[in-house]
Structure 1
Amino acid sequence: MKILFITRGFKPAIGGTETYINELYDNLSKKHEIICIVHSNPKRKEQDNIFQINSLKTKNRTVSFLHFIINSIKIALKQKFDVIHANTEISGLSGIFIKFFKGKPLVTTIHDTGFIRFNPQWSWFGRASRRILKKIVCKFSNKVITVSPGVKNQLVRFLGVSNKNIEVIPYGLDTHKFNLRIRGNIRKKLNIKNKFLILFVGMLYPKKGLEYLIESLYNLSKKFSKFKLVLVGMEIYPGYKQKLIDLVDRFKLNDKIIFAGSVSYKEIPKWYIASDVFVLPSIDTEGLSLTCLEAGACGKPVVASTILEDTNAVLRNKTALIVRPRNVNDLTENLLKLIKNKKLRYELGHNGRKYSENFSWVKTSKKTEEIYINLNGGKN
C-alpha cells in the first residue's frame, strides 16, 4: 500500500505531533511505501520520498498556512498513492482537496481541541476559525483519529462530529529509548551537580503556561534556593521566549533558569534522567502529553496541570502531583513537597515507569494501519 503523509512538522523537528508522525513513518515504512509532504528543515537530509515546502518568512500565520496548503496540493496531484493521512487540521484542509481531486480516502489526526479554552496565542477570530476548520476537516475525513478519549468527547460535544467516525488511538512510547538505565553528562555539562533540577521539555509558547512556572519559582526561592529550572525546546510563538526572559530578569532568577534551546530527540532521555522532577503547567487543551509519559518512563515524578489529567497522560497522586492551571501557589507548594519528600519522588517515578509500559508505538502503528486497510477496500 502507498500512503501519503501531509504534515508540517517532521523529523528532525521534535514535539508531540512531530514525534507522532515520525514514529508512524518509522514503523509503517518497513512494510508500506510512504510519501511525505512537509515543511522544509535545513537539518533534514534530502530523500526522494520527502517533498519539502519552504517556509515563508512572515509573522502572519494565515498566510503561512495557506502557502503550505496550496503547495502541498500541487505536489500531491503529481503523486500516486492509496490513502492520505493528514497530521493536524491544517494538513487536513490540504487533504480534503487532494481527496476530491484524486478520489482517495482521507484520515486526519486531531491532537487537541485548543479552540475551547481561552488561549492568548489566538484572537477570538483565530479561535473561531480554528473551530470551523476542525469541523470541516472532521466532516470530510473518512476517519478521524484522536489521541485520547477527552479529545474525542470534545469533538463530539462541541463540533457535533459523529461518534462512529472517530477512532481513539493513543500515542505510543518507546520504553527502550526512555528507561532508568540511561547515562549522560547533562548535569556536568550544565555545572549543576548538586542542585535540584526541575525540567520542562516542549515547544515554548503560551499554551504551556511557563510564565506561571517562573513566577512560582520566585516564591520557591524564598523557601529553598538550591534548584535549577531547565527549559528544553524551541520558540514557535514570536516574542514568547523574550517575555519569559523579561520575567526571569524581573524576578532576578537569572542564575536559576537555563534556556537550553532545541535538543535532538535521541538526546532527550538523558535530560529526563538528569532531572529530579518534570513539570508541565499547561493552561490550554492538550492531546496526550508524550513528555509526561517519557518522564515517567525514565522514573521521574511529574507536576502537571489538571488539563494533563484529562488526557490520561498522568494519574493523580500516582504518577503526578496535579495543580490548577495558572495557579502559582499550587506550583510552588507541590514542587516544594517533592523537594522535601524523596520517598514521594521515588513512588511517583516508579508508578510512572509502570504506567508508561501501557503505551507502544508498535500498537499505535498497527491500529492506524488497520484503518488504512479498511479504507483501501481491505487491500494491504
Structure 2
Amino acid sequence: MRKKLIVVGPTPPPHHGVSLFTNNLINSDLKRHFKIILLDTADRRTKPNMGRFDIVNIYLGVKHLLKLFMLFLIYRAEILYVPISQNILGFFRDGLFILIGKVFRASIVIHLHGGIFDRFYNNAPHIFKKFIRFALSNVDRAIVLCDRFVNIFDGLIPAEKVRVVNNGIDCAISEERFRDRGRRKRDSKEKVLFLGTLDKRKGFIDIIRAIPYIIKHNKNVEFVIAGKWHFQEDGEEAVRLIEEFNVRDYVKFPGVVSGNEKWDLFLGSDLFVFPTHFIEGQPLVVLEAMMAGLPIVATPMGCLECMLKEGVNGFFTDGSPEDIAEKIVYLLRNKGLREKISEYNRKEFLEKYTWNKCVENLVKVIKEV
C-alpha cells in the first residue's frame, strides 16, 4: 500500500525554479510510489514578492500553516516533504511546517534548492538560530543538490541524514536532433552563447568586456546574449560598453527564448559561457547546455565546482574579462577538443541529469524514511 506523502511547495504561476520543480514532481513517477497530497504555497503575485515581509505574505503563511494542519487531520499522511527557504520569513514558515509534521508523527524530508543556507544561518539573529536548530532537529532526511553542499547543515543535521539528489530536466533534444546539430547552423560564424537572466551578477557584462580581447584573435565569432533584463541600469551599461568597444556587429540580444527557438539556439552554438558571481545552486541552464553538448566556460560557483571537470566539460574561469576571453579563444581554436567535450557533456547529461533520474533518486531518499 502506498504511503501518503504531503508535498509542500508552490506551483506556477509565477514561473521560477522551485515552482516548476514542484509542478513536475507532483506529475511525475512519484505518484506510482506514494499517494501525493499537495499543499500549494504559491504567491500568485510577481516573483519579486517572494520572501518579502508584507501583509499578503503573512496572510499566506498563516493560511498555509492552517491548511497543512487540516491536511494532516484529514489524511493522516506518513511523510512530509518541504523545500526550505534561505531567508528568515520563509524559513519561519517552513520550520513551522516541519513542527506541525512532527506533531502528527510524520517523517520529515527537506529539500534545499539553493547553496547559501550556512551563510543564512550564520547571519541570522541569535534567537532565530535557536528556532532553526530546533526545527531541523526534527528532520529525518535533508536533500542537497551536489557534493559541495553535503556539509551545509553541519552542526544542525547529522551527516548520515543528508543525501545528494542532482537537479534534472526532461531531455528535449532527441539523439537524432543532437547528431544533426552541425547542419542547423545558419552561417559559418562561431557562436558563443549566454542564456539566463540579464543581471550583471550573472556575468553577462563581463562577457561583453571580454569581446575586444577575443576579436583580436578571431573575428569570425558572434555572441548571443539571451534572456530577460533584470535591471534597467544593467541594460544601459551593456549598450554603453558595446558602443564604447565598437562591437555592435558581434553581439545579438534575442530577448527571452523558449521551446524550439531555445533548443535551436543551443544547437546552433559552439560553446556556452556562464561566468556567474552568484553562489548558484545547480543552474538548469547549464544542464540544458550539457544536453545540447556544448562545452562550458563557467565560474566555479555553487554546484558548478563539482559538476564540471576542468578540460573535460569545458573550463573554469575566474570571471575576469581577460580570463573569460582566454578560455573562449582556446576553445574556438580547438575544434577537435570542442567535439570531444560535446560528446562527453551529452553523455553525462543523459546519465546523471535527466528528470527521470532526478525523480528516481528522490524516490529512493523518501523511501528511506
Whether these two folds match at TM > 0.5 is yes
* Aligned counterpart, 1:153: 151
Q: Secondary structure at the match of 2:218?
A: coil
Assess if the C-alpha contact under 8 Å between 1:3 and 1:85 holds in 2. yes
- Which of 343, 346, 353 is equivalent to 1:350? 343
* Aligned counterpart, 1:243: 234
The amino acid of 1:251's aligned partner reads I
Q: Secondary structure at the match of 2:272?
A: strand
CA deviation string 1:308-338 (max 9, x = no partner): 67543212101111111x3221101111112
- Which of 101, 114, 117 is equivalent to 2:116? 114
- Which of 287, 293, 307 is equivalent to 2:301? 307
Distance change >3 Å, CA 70–CA 36, structure 1 → 2: same
**Separation in structure 1 between the aligned mates of residue 270 and residue 113 of structure 2, nearest angstrom:** 28
Percent identity (aligned): 18
- Does residue 328 of structure 1 match 2:321? yes
How far is 1:302 from its partner? 1.0
How far is 1:14 from its partner? 5.2
- Does residue 217 of structure 1 match 2:217? no
**Which blocks of at least 5 consecutive residues in structure 1 are unaligned?**
40-52, 118-124, 376-380
How far is 1:138 from its partner? 4.0
* Aligned counterpart, 1:73: 65
Distance change >3 Å, CA 261–CA 19, structure 1 → 2: farther
- Does residue 55 of structure 1 match 2:45? yes
How far is 1:244 from its partner? 4.0
How far is 1:291 from its partner? 2.6
* Aligned counterpart, 1:97: 96
**Which blocks of at least 5 consecutive residues in structure 2 are unaligned?**
none
CA deviation string 1:133-180 (max 9, x = no partner): 976764443321001010112332xx65321221111223444x2345
Which of the two has greater helix per residue? 2
How far is 1:92 from its partner? 5.2
- Please, what is the CA RMSD of the aligned residues? 3.9
Distance change >3 Å, CA 18–CA 193, structure 1 → 2: farther
TM-score normalised to the size of structure 2? 0.76
Distance change >3 Å, CA 292–CA 101, structure 1 → 2: closer
**Separation in structure 1 between the aligned mates of residue 110 and residue 226 of structure 2, nearest angstrom:** 29
**Separation in structure 2 between the aligned mates of residue 151 and residue 134 of structure 1, nearest angstrom:** 18
- Does residue 128 of structure 1 match 2:120? no
**Separation in structure 2 between the aligned mates of residue 7 and residue 202 of structure 1, nearest angstrom:** 23
CA deviation string 1:179-235 (max 9, x = no partner): 45338xx9999x963432222233344542222222112432444344333333445
**Separation in structure 2 between the aligned mates of residue 180 and residue 12 of structure 1, nearest angstrom:** 32
Q: How many residue pairs align between the two structures?
A: 345
Assess if the C-alpha contact under 8 Å between 1:14 and 1:264 holds in 2. no
How far is 1:301 from its partner? 1.1
* Aligned counterpart, 1:165: 161
- Does residue 280 of structure 1 match 2:274? yes
* Aligned counterpart, 2:177: 182
Assess if the C-alpha contact under 8 Å between 2:269 and 2:294 holds in 1. yes
Larger displacement relative to structure 2 (272-281 or 282-291): 282-291
> Greater CA radius of gyration, 1 or 2?
2
* Aligned counterpart, 2:40: 37
How far is 1:341 from its partner? 2.0
The amino acid of 1:182's aligned partner reads R
CA deviation string 1:242-287 (max 9, x = no partner): 3144233233244444444444467643332121111111223223
Distance change >3 Å, CA 202–CA 26, structure 1 → 2: farther
Larger displacement relative to structure 2 (350-359 or 203-212): 203-212
The amino acid of 1:249's aligned partner reads R
Assess if the C-alpha contact under 8 Å between 1:248 and 1:257 holds in 2. no
